[in-house]
Amino acid sequence: MADRFRITLAQLNPIVGDIDGNAAMAFAAWEQARDAGADLVAFPEMFITGYNTQDLVMKPVFYRAAMAAVEAVAARCADGPVLAIGGPWCEDDSLFNAYLILKGGRIGSKVLKHHLPNETVFDEVRLYDSGPLGGPYSVGNSRIGSPICEDSWHPDVAETLEETGAEFLLIPNGSPYFRNKYDIRLNHMVARVVETGLPLIYLNMVGGQDDQVFDGATFGLNPGGELAFRMPVFDESVTHIDLERGDDGWRIVPAEIVPQPDEWEQDYRAMVQSLRDYMGKTGFKKALLGLSGGVDSALVAAIAVDAIGAENVRCVMLPSEYTSQASLDDAEAVAKALGVHYDYVPISDSRAAVTQTLAPLFAGRDADLTEENVQSRLRGLLLMAISNKFGEMLLTTGNKSEVAVGYATIYGDMNGGYNPIKDLYKTRVFETCRWRNANHRDWMMGPSAEVIRPSVIDKPPSAELREDQKDSDSLPDYPVLDAILDILVDQEGSIADCVAAGFDETDARRVEHLIYISEYKRFQSAPGTRLTSRAFWLDRRYPIVNRWRDQG
């Protein structure tokens, strides 16, 4: 019997729907595995189609194309290492999330996902049929068990594989990032190792797909739960890992354990990566945004520059008579520090024209929020005109605090194609700006110096839509607001929970009301990077028409 087994782990970034491109990527990694003398080259869950496909995978012409592509890959990779790849598979009018084992020019084995996740961003119960609990597949003289993603979070699949002869576990995943997700994965996988006594390899993909970002961090555990290796976080990597068989069975030969960045760096990398991939995978080369002199737009500008380069980012200042000189100075300073193209487009004349046009209709009525929103919508109109004229994707700059309570103007500052800070509360926006000023990494395309000067971060937040306006005029101070939002949104807590945490009941009820009445805005808002397990979009789906309020 062989006493050494080499597996090539392809932690790569597929594109949803690019079946031919994903197949070509798989073949290139297979060639690297062949040249390295590997016995097996493994790809993540649903790699041939990209992940998460959502309802696209139910279209027969789509899943048939994916199945045909896998069969073509099998034929092309007949002479060399076995290839294991995720994809849809249809049998007897049932559609499965499958892991397909290609050897000898054909599909030699099929693993069908048993546990279908049906929470947070996953709707697999509506997409797939549940496969049976199965046994391992053979590669050479080794027997491998492959629980598919969610299957590894439950003990029964791994236990069944161990009982039917699996010698180690290879787990293909499409596991998207949220803050501290790695620790949750690791704890579950240690449990599977302890229960089965088998070595385990957890293979994850990388890259952005709509709001989700797959963070890689592929790792291996030896019996007893010892970490044997870890691949990079967020970076593509094709890595060769060896296992050795001794008297006690297989063990992973220890390899590099790539350091884990802290949560601030991982959040920032997720925002950069998601924007980079969202633009790259949809075909946009350039972006623009309204740069107001405030902290949110400054952070989005920095993220955009780090994602696609300063030469591809346009920032536009659109001042009104309420825009302070400090905001003008701060916006220009940020633009210069980042090295972006900077345009100055005043809106006072346009606002006066709209005011004059509406004057006969509004006669006898006092100025109110209507006039404030006109300014925001004028800015949205002008930014969309620039976007259309130059083919640059408009970025939205509203943070999670504003998105939660509707402190944003629909068809105004909510205009845009993507919002990288959509899941970042305002208090974390401030800290993320400070983190970016103090840190630079190779994956950032922007400058290493301070890019957001302290005056941008330290001044009281203001929309500057009327004289001496402050956000605190309309909302609780952000530390209070964000703490209440964390209870009501992220923890799905109650008004009583807010009061028990020391917050004023009136504030909590007001925030709850704002959350519910703003649902229609979120329904129409741009997608944005998912950083938590309670992001606004697939994670949290509430009705727009909703009279319920917590009566406590």
Tell me how far apart the alpha carbons of residues 270 and 268 are, in angstroms, rounded to a whole number. Answer: 5
pLDDT at 222: 97
71-75, 136-140, 366-370 — which is least confidently predicted?
A: 366-370
Q: Tell how strand 313-317 and strand 94-103 pair up.
A: unpaired
Q: Which tens digit of pLDDT belongs to each residue from 144-195?
A: 999 999 999 999 999 999 999 999 999 999 999 999 999 999 999 999 999 9
Q: Which tens digit of pLDDT belongs to each residue from 421-435?
A: 999 999 999 999 999
Among candidate residues 415, 438, 471, the one where a domain is terminated? 471
The token duo for 407 is 């402190």
**Is 526 part of any domain?**
no
Q: Which tens digit of pLDDT belongs to each residue from 432-457?
A: 999 999 999 999 999 999 999 999 99
Instruction: Find the farthest-apart pair of alpha carbons in the chain and give their distance in angstroms, rounded.
Output: 92
Q: Are residues 221 and 348 in the same domain?
A: no
Mean pLDDT score across all residues of the chain = 95
Q: Is 131 annotated as a binding residue?
A: no
Q: Are residues 310 and 360 in the same domain?
A: yes
Among candidate residues 252, 286, 315, the one where a domain is terminated? 252
pLDDT above 60 for 400: yes
Q: Is 50 annotated as a binding residue?
A: no
Q: Which tens digit of pLDDT belongs to each residue from 189-218?
A: 999 999 999 999 999 999 999 999 999 999
Q: Is 293 annotated as a binding residue?
A: yes
Residue 75 belongs to a domain with what CATH number? 3.60.110.10
DSSP result, 182-226: HHHHHHHHHHHHHHH---EEEEE-EEEETTEEEEB--EEEETTTE
State percent of the chain over pLDDT 90. Answer: 91
Q: Which residues are catalytic?
A: 45, 113, 149
pTM of the model: 0.95
The total number of residues written for the chain in this structure: 552
Q: Are residues 320 and 213 in the same domain?
A: no
Structure-model confidence comparison of residues 144 and 548, the more confident one: 144
Q: Is 518 annotated as a binding residue?
A: no
**Is 552 part of any domain?**
no
Tell me how far apart the alpha carbons of residues 52 and 67 are, in angstroms, rounded to a whole number. Answer: 17
Tell me how far apart the alpha carbons of residues 44 and 289 are, in angstroms, rounded to a whole number. Answer: 35
What is the helix (H) or strand (E) element at residue 100, kind and residue range? strand 94-103
**Is 208 part of any domain?**
yes
Residue 283 belongs to a domain with what CATH number? 3.40.50.620
Q: Is 285 annotated as a binding residue?
A: no
Q: Are residues 270 and 368 in the same domain?
A: yes
Among candidate residues 213, 229, 252, the one where a domain is terminated? 252
Q: Are residues 290 and 166 in the same domain?
A: no
Q: Are residues 72 and 186 in the same domain?
A: yes
pLDDT at 100: 98
Instruction: Measure CA of the first residue to CA of the last residue in the chain; give whole Å.
Output: 67
Torsional sign, CA 290, 294, 296, 298: positive
Angle at 104 between CA 103 and CA 106, to 5 degrees: 70
Q: Are residues 43 and 189 in the same domain?
A: yes
**Is 514 part of any domain?**
no
Residues 6+ apart with CB under 8 A from 119: none
For 103-125, what is the mean pLDDT?
Answer: 93
Q: Is 485 annotated as a binding residue?
A: no
**Is 500 part of any domain?**
no
pLDDT band at 2 (very low <50, low <70, confident <90, very high): low
pLDDT at 120: 84
Torsional sign, CA 308, 311, 312, 314: positive
**Is 162 part of any domain?**
yes
pLDDT above 60 for 363: yes
For 244-268, what is the mean pLDDT?
Answer: 96
Cβ neighbours of 372 (radius 10 Å): 19
Domain count, the chain: 2
Q: Which tens digit of pLDDT belongs to each residue from 280-290?
A: 999 999 999 99
Tell me how far apart the alpha carbons of residues 182 and 513 are, in angstroms, rounded to a whole number. Answer: 34
Structural domain that includes position 371: 264-471
Q: Is 294 annotated as a binding residue?
A: yes
Q: Are residues 227 and 319 in the same domain?
A: no
Q: Which tens digit of pLDDT belongs to each residue from 4-28?
A: 999 999 999 999 999 999 999 999 9
Q: Is 402 annotated as a binding residue?
A: yes
pLDDT above 80 for 256: yes
Q: What is the chain's Cα-based Rg?
A: 26
**Is 215 part of any domain?**
yes
Closest CA to 109 of 117, 99, 119, 118: 99
SS3 70: helix
**Is 209 part of any domain?**
yes
Residues 6+ apart with CB under 8 A from 236: 11, 12, 13, 206, 207, 216
Q: Are residues 194 and 134 in the same domain?
A: yes
Q: Are residues 96 and 157 in the same domain?
A: yes
Q: Which tens digit of pLDDT belongs to each residue from 307-318?
A: 999 999 999 999
The number of CA neighbours under 13 Å toward the Cβ of 102 is 30
pLDDT at 271: 98
The token duo for 394 is 């408009």
Structure-model confidence comparison of residues 241 and 537, the more confident one: 241
Q: Is 521 annotated as a binding residue?
A: yes
pLDDT above 70 for 1: no
Q: Are residues 37 and 186 in the same domain?
A: yes
Contact 294, 325 (CB under 8 A): no
Going by the DSSP 8-state scheme, the letter that residue 56 receives in this structure is: G
Give 3-state DSSP helix, strand, coil % of the chain, rounded to 5. Answer: 40, 20, 40
Q: Which tens digit of pLDDT belongs to each residue from 258-271?
A: 999 999 999 999 99
pLDDT band at 473 (very low <50, low <70, confident <90, very high): confident
How distant, in Å, are the alpha carbons of 15, 326, 400, 531 from that of 294? 34, 10, 15, 22
Q: Are residues 203 and 286 in the same domain?
A: no
Helices in 39-180 by DSSP H: which ranges? 60-76, 124-127, 155-163
